[in-house]
Amino acid sequence: MQARTGSTRLPGKVLKEVCGRTLLEHQMERMLRARSLDRLVVATTTSPADDAIADLVRARGWACHRGSETDVLSRYAQAARAERAGVVVRMTMDCPLIDPDVVDAVVGRMRRGAFDFVTNNLEPSFPHGLDVEAFSRLTLDAADREAVEPFEREHVSPFVRDRPGRFRLDNVRSPAALHHHRWTVDYPEDLELVRAVYEALYRPGGFFTTADVLALLAQRPDLPKLNAARAAT
Give the model's pLDDT for residue 7.
84
CA distance 70 to 201: 35
In this structure, what is the dihedral angle of CA atoms 216, 96, 6, 58, given to the nearest 10 degrees?
Answer: 150
Which domains are present in the chain? 13-231 (3.90.550.10)
Model confidence band, residue 231 (pLDDT cutoffs 50, 70, 90): confident
Summarize pLDDT for 30-58 with one digit per residue, the tens.
Answer: 999 999 999 999 999 999 999 999 999 99
Which residues 6+ apart lie within 8 Å of 48 measured at CB?
Answer: none
Give the model's pLDDT for residue 27.
97
Does the pLDDT at position 233 exceed 60?
no
Instruction: List, in sequence order, every residue forming a beta bridge with 57; answer none if it has no partner.
Output: none
Mean pLDDT for 140-147 is: 98
| DSSP letters spanning 89-119 | EE-BTT-TT--HHHHHHHHHHHHHTT-SEEE
Summarize pLDDT for 182-226 with one digit per residue, the tens.
Answer: 999 999 999 999 999 999 999 999 999 999 999 999 999 999 999
Out of 108-112, 144-148, 201-205, 229-233, least confident range: 229-233
CA distance 100 to 27: 10
Per-residue exposure over 44-71, b if at least 16 CB sit within 10 Å of its own CB, e if not: bbeeeebebbbebbeeeebebbbbebeb
pLDDT mean across residues, the chain: 96
